[in-house]
A = this chain, B = another copy of it.
Amino acid sequence: MRVTIYDVAREANVSLATVSRVLNNSPHVRESTRRRVQEAIDKLGFEPNLVASALMTKRTRLVALLVPDISNPFYAEVARGVEDAAAELGYNCVICNVGGDTAKQAEYVNVLRRKGIDGMIFGTANYDDKLVLDLSRGSYPLTLMARDVPAAEVNRVLVDDGAGGAMAARHLLELGHRRLAMVTEPGGIHSSQERARGFREALDEAARDGVEAVYLEAEGSDIAAGLAAGRRLLDMTPRPTAVFAANDLLAIGILQAAREADTRVPDDLSVVGFDGTVMADVTQPPLTTIVQPMRDMGKAAVRLLVETLQNGGEHQRIVMSPELRVAGTTAAYRPARPAAN
């Protein structure tokens, strides 16, 4: 970056301002001068310094994506959508793994703002996230992604978790299951609670014919937590014949627990997951799951954010619909089970 706008101006016998106008496609430039300037640009191989430009315009065309962990397939898929849409719109995307650490997250946000990042997508936020509320009050451009903070004035891209839970419930009921279980994520993860609510309500609607349901809270959100929860589940008497897990990883853990216990899936236990990550496709049998449109969610998040950046305007809220993908881990309830082995 050595040749500057000034060099171009001299080469083309015009002023800085004219070069700048050409660069920014201002309509107020005669075609012949535009060409002359363009030639000078090409000849000198001039490439505008966007840092200098950002200092004036206050826009870096950089957005940030904050996620708990980019190596988690769900967030990786979302990130793919975010980056794709950002690139399409002329933005680049800064990625941040914030884990669960609130202080770390605040520090990240602070540095990013000072670096001139135009706006952020939060793939992680608590229900009453102070940081989000502060940024929202300062009207810093934000999109929340798969996590809501009801009190904040920001864009949102959500998935109808309740509807997803209901889909799982109805699927299992239709297969004839009457003794059901759900494994939820620990603590106050809002989306997990919503999935449970939808599941419960759908069961309640159908409760006329003696449906029982038990709810287990896992001790984490990963495969190991699913395995532990699965073991507890399989020890229960009477044992549920079908289980809905709040995410795919938990479901996969439950599959492992079933294998340990020589419980056949789906013959002796039906399992439904949530997310539809690539992991669901490689289990054996492939996991029946409630699919979130991860990539599209990422794209939508960027589009809302950029819309806010460029046009301001009202904050938008997009609620996407999950979808049941029936694969190999669910089957009709069979009252009379053949002896195994």
Contacts and interface: CB of A to CB of B under 8 A. Distances in A.
Interface string A76-93: 110110011001000011
A52 B50 contact: no
A79 B83 contact: no
A42 to B, nearest CB: 14
Contacts of A281: 223
Interface string A94-123: 111100000000001011111110000000
Contacts of A70: 70, 76, 79-80, 83
Contact of A51 (B60, B76, B223, B278): B60
B115 A73 contact: no
Nearest to A104: B87
Interface string A122-157: 000000000000000000000000000000000000
Contacts of A1: 113-114
A21 B17 CA distance: 34
B60 A71 contact: no
B278 A114 contact: no
A62 interface: yes
Contacts of A170: none
A50 B115 contact: yes
Contacts of A61: 115
A260 to B, nearest CB: 12
A204 interface: no
Contacts of A64: 92
A252 B114 contact: no
Contacts of A223: 281-282
Nearest to A47: B114
Nearest to A112: B92
A73 B112 contact: no
Contact of A115 (B51, B79, B96): B51
B110 A47 contact: yes
A35 interface: no
A95 B97 contact: no
A96 B76 CA distance: 12
A62 B84 CA distance: 20
B92 A92 contact: no
Interface of A: 1, 47-52, 54-55, 60-62, 64, 69-73, 76-77, 79-80, 83-84, 87, 92-97, 108, 110-116, 223, 252, 259, 278-279, 281-284, 295
